[in-house]
Amino acid sequence: MLIQPIVLSGGSGTRLWPLSREKYPKQLLPLIGEDSLLQATIRRVEGIAGAELAPPMVVCNEEYRFVIAEQLRLLGKPGTIVLEPTGRNTAPALTLAAFAAIKNGADPVLLVMPADHVITDTAAFRRVVGQGAMLAADGAVVTFGITPDAPETGYGYIQSGAAYPGHSSKADGAPARLIARFVEKPDLPTAQSYLDAGSYLWNSGLFMMRASVWLTAIGACRPDILAACQTAWDQGSTDAEFVRVGKEAFAKCPSDSIDYAVMERIAASASSSDAASASLPPGVVIPLTAGWSDVGAWDALWQVLPKDASGNVTQGDVLLQDCHDTLAFSESRLIACVGVNELVVVETADAILVAHKDQTQDVKKIVDQLKLAGRNEGQIHRKVFRPWGSYDSVDAGERFQVKRIVVKPGGTLSLQMHHHRAEHWIVVSGTAKVTRGDNTFLLSENESTFIPLGTTHRLENPGRVPLEMIEVQSGAYLGEDDIVRFDDVYGR
């Protein structure tokens, strides 16, 4: 059985600010262990019994394409990256992935996973996914419901119905059941009643179905989404590992989630006798107990991370004295906490968050304030990743800015020019190949050059070790949009 992992990487993770930013969201961060959440999502599908795994497919915003490509490369798992010109929620994203999966005549079972969730018991996950794969191969649309252990008001719920008569419902593990209905995030008394009833599961956002089954289902439930995605796909192209679709056609696609567009209609069709409902595949839910969390906010991250004897979670340079149930994350500086309880303290190079653990859902309101004020801290980190490497804005003042630039081996910046600034480059380590006007030359450690305003230039790393350099910009305007590109190997 061929399983195609589909990773949906479209969220922004505003509740995990300041680590998660709009242009570098939580799924790209190593919040649990050394792997990013996206890398951990791809790793956990390895070893599903009886399954052949296709290379991973990631559906993401164009903004993240180079970072995601690099993270896949570091995993040793180059795959397909389907680029959404604009966000249209999960149903269109999955429809594009289904088109990509069947383009060579295959019809694999799609394993659809959000990129930003945590599952600590990977063995249990693989076992239950193997169970679901057999049902999906036979034509069912399968989702996995998380067995609740508390009256949680932050999740949607799935009510399970009668036992599903499929052959794998008797496989090792919890029995598969028909989906009775999906319900929205409840208030606390309702959530408690769901927990007491025993037939309600948290909605995990995990799905399995054949690619052809999804396309048939979305066509029956939302033909407008299918038509828009089909047009966008037909107008698309492939550029190395990136699959691009028609921008204008996809922009016209309605925005809807997998749940609303298809799953709720499948659940409703189980009790309906009309012809349209009869054409829909069966919807099945399988309980999953595998240490799942959507790490939607700092308190959720605190819950899944290892704690000391006082219930504290720390990362980085942190000192605690007489603290309890506190989370402290340091990115670059010492954090010292004394006599505090139930706090979240997160330090980055350009922002510090201090919040009560019970109110971390409101962190997104801070991000909203940053957007309204036109501040960059809600969108990007001080350190910005590019396909060729990264830069860190270490200092700035009136008419000057200092950056630390790292160019990975073989990395090449675009051939460019600036209207408003000049640049002075000093090599700290490695070797730089510099194009300045009509001249091309090499710089080694402790050597420098000057790029006058209006001069065409390019920086490359021809060596086998990272190139590290300091760039001093000076001029009347130092914004990143003061770049005129003449040539770019990355197609920007």
Which CATH code of 3.30.2130.10, 3.40.640.10, 3.40.1350.10, 2.60.120.10 fits the domain covering 383-487? 2.60.120.10
In this prediction, residues 440-454 reach a mean pLDDT of: 96
Pairing of strands 109-114, 2-9: parallel
| Of 108-112, 296-300, 431-435, the least confident | 296-300
With a cut of 80, say whether residue 273 has pLDDT above it: no
Distance (Å, whole) CA 192 – CA 470: 57
What's the pLDDT score for residue 303? 93
Q: Is the dihedral of CA 89, 95, 99, 101 positive or negative?
A: positive
Class of domain 2-293: alpha beta
Distance (Å, whole) CA 173 – CA 45: 17
209: closest CA among 96, 94, 115? 94
Average pLDDT across the chain, whole number: 92
The pLDDT confidence band at residue 470, using thresholds 50, 70 and 90, is very high
The pLDDT confidence band at residue 491, using thresholds 50, 70 and 90, is confident
pTM of whole model > 0.85?
yes
Q: What angle do CA 440, 447, 451 make, to 5 degrees?
A: 50
Bigger pLDDT: 360 vs 490 = 360
pLDDT digits (tens, 9 = 90+) for 118-135: 999 999 999 999 999 999
Tell me which range, 52-66, 205-219, 239-253, is most confidently predicted by mean pLDDT.
205-219
With a cut of 50, say whether residue 168 has pLDDT above it: no
The pLDDT confidence band at residue 272, using thresholds 50, 70 and 90, is low
With a cut of 60, say whether residue 442 has pLDDT above it: yes
Q: Which amino acid is at 122?
A: T
Radius of gyration of the chain (CA): 25
The pLDDT confidence band at residue 62, using thresholds 50, 70 and 90, is confident
- DSSP bridge partners of 242: 81, 239
Furthest C-alpha separation in the chain: 78
What's the pLDDT score for residue 154? 85
Provide CB contacts within 8 A for 398, sequence distance 6+: none
What's the pLDDT score for residue 78? 84
Percent of the chain with pLDDT over 90: 79
pLDDT digits (tens, 9 = 90+) for 367-391: 999 999 999 899 889 888 888 999 9
- Domain layout of the chain by residue ranges: 2-293, 307-372, 383-487
pLDDT digits (tens, 9 = 90+) for 303-359: 999 999 999 999 999 999 999 999 999 999 999 999 999 999 999 999 999 999 999
Contact (Cβ atoms closer than 8 angstroms) between residue 13 and residue 26: yes
Contact (Cβ atoms closer than 8 angstroms) between residue 88 and residue 255: yes
Tell me which range, 31-35, 382-386, 399-403, is most confidently predicted by mean pLDDT.
399-403
What's the pLDDT score for residue 170? 44
With a cut of 80, say whether residue 166 has pLDDT above it: no
What's the pLDDT score for residue 334? 97
333: closest CA among 353, 318, 321, 311? 318
| Of 26-30, 165-169, 435-439, the least confident | 165-169
Q: Number of helices (H) and strands (E), helices first, in the chain?
A: 13, 31
For 59-72, b/e burial (b = at least 16 CB within 10 A) is bbbeebbbbbbebb
Q: Around 80, how many Cα atoms within 13 Å sit in the side-chain half-sphere?
A: 21
The pLDDT confidence band at residue 171, using thresholds 50, 70 and 90, is very low
